[in-house]
Structure 1
């Protein structure tokens, strides 16, 4: 059996992707070690994994707390500058730490841009795991930090190329640090951004029906979600306060969740509906910060998301990929309010497949949100499309399929072709 290392970010959405995969590999008698920053240690140990800190503690300013979106150019620039600093720290410290553990292969979180270079330096086979929407660049589709909709027209492709060019310019500090280390370590230079992805296998948890039409390499695999494959830590919730009315569940995730005006808009937009609104603050704010929300919704610091989605008729979400896939897994349509990262791209896909609508942060007000909620609740097509995708998700192999791909890649060290 192999010793498999997992190099990943410590954010909740990433760990919720990685842990089920690690647990399945453990079930198959592989040894699993998590390599991440110290924030992940307690959760990794509690989940039963070996853990090694790569010695980097991100500052809390990495959390997007300003009233911006990733479409804001200064915010994109700041985020990528921070990623460059993180990449340099990992490239300095991670190889020695990983080498000490004698792992046989690495699973690299896509958001660890330099992970493939670390694996190449250590001469380890690696598989790319897409904890977020894959940013595999393709001029046929808009970049994932935008809410651009798919359009095959020539002018749309020119628009996409221009947007990728701008993003790559902003990301130049990251790519330059990676290029410097590849030269220092006498590794072949990357010829394009897509070279950071594994040449053995790329795994994403969404499904092709939730992706824009595009060309992807033959070793790119859609496996379906992992979230049902591992038990989550129990979350206390006052189920006795549910009143039996159709449930609307609202959450802005666990990182970009400090936008008080967003929660006020959600509450005000739902006040006239014959539904019960449950708002999960994701730990960013305390329920006491919202004593007088319109309609008196049930507000909690954390919520058992899967249990509430099972009861929900609508999910108001930040369009994080984890929450979106969980919502579709329960056939629940959505109204998305994307904030940053890949959330705009996920929101665009929610609208494209007809499973919901989105309202950008810049256009968010009570009226715009009311209109979107009313459409999704009253037009049957949204629910029908959510259920259609639910059925497709339930046909996927999920974490079992992903583990099969990883085992084949690790054992053969050859591309695993669909």
Structure 2
């Protein structure tokens, strides 16, 4: 309601719209300015051969898989109907044609995903203006995080982070520490601001616990990441060729975890099935089976070739200069 006036007053000539903010395209259409869709999490483009983003379902193009996906998308559509109605009400008020398909929320000029194509299930129906550019990590944009590097032992480093939002399940960190007992490795736990190191009981071994960690720097040293399968930590691990053990919790994390399993870059343990025994088994498997590291290195190379933020910026500038779709 208020966004058009604010955007006009600021003299904005193009919008970058998060794909998870479906109202953004309607605002751009009303203002008659171009917009580019940016998939800041797992891409949301619907395609019946690909499971809904919020599920842990594996890729299965058989009739059973397609039927399963169709039911999943029907449920998502039902859950999102009220939002669709609100958006279409505004489109009607503003003399814009209504949406009848959620894929219409995304730009027809350019859609950018920070996934590399190799970290996505097979796709056949993406628009020609869709681009897999790879991640946009920028170390310079992050606040420095002090870290006791002098306490690192030189053993293989296992980095555990459950993100900065869904990180208050402290029992998971206790379980991770218990699962690492007896391994020739050092565990570093980053709590992500959800708690303080003092809120955890004394953990076994030479575990280091910090509130925030210099994640990009530690991943350069890591042998394994234990993660909630948030897209940022996942892509940053793969950018460093680090395989993972994923414990997805919510939102798009089950879908990200499904892609970790599909690409062979890690093992996945659903939260409801998590135990010290299963976690220890998965950690040992990823540490000792060469295929996980090889696949992580394969994805690292794919990310390097995807172009990253420079390619994304070039595409956006081309939209600004031409006002036409930028084809992949």
TM-score by length of 1: 0.77
Q: Distance in 1 between matches of 2:326 and 2:139?
A: 23
2:88 aligned with 1:176: no
Unaligned runs of 5+ in 1: 1-91
Contact 1:278 1:298 in 2 (8 A): yes
Q: Distance in 2 between matches of 1:371 and 1:144?
A: 27
Q: Distance in 1 between matches of 2:245 and 2:325?
A: 38
2:240 aligned with 1:336: no
Contact 1:264 1:294 in 2 (8 A): no
Q: Distance in 1 between matches of 2:116 and 2:305?
A: 10
Aligned to 1:315: 225
Aligned to 1:417: 327
Contact 1:126 1:410 in 2 (8 A): no
Moved over 4 A (4+): none
SS of 1:283's partner is coil
Q: Distance in 2 between matches of 1:261 and 1:164?
A: 33
Q: CA deviation at 1:230?
A: 4.1
Q: Distance in 2 between matches of 1:104 and 1:185?
A: 19
Aligned to 1:76: none
2:14 aligned with 1:105: yes
2:125 aligned with 1:203: no
Contact 1:229 1:399 in 2 (8 A): no
Contact 1:351 1:357 in 2 (8 A): yes
Contact 1:287 1:299 in 2 (8 A): yes
Q: CA deviation at 1:227?
A: 0.6
| TM alignment of 1:6-405, pairs within 5 A | 92-215=1-124, 216-228=126-138, 230-405=140-315
Instruction: Tell me whether 221-230 or 281-290 shows the greater mean CA deviation.
Output: 221-230
Q: CA deviation at 1:110?
A: 1.3
Unaligned runs of 5+ in 2: none
| 1:60-116 CA distance string (max 9 Å, x none) | xxxxxxxxxxxxxxxxxxxxxxxxxxxxxxxx2211111110111111111212111
Q: Distance in 1 between matches of 2:38 and 2:119?
A: 17
TM-score by length of 2: 0.97
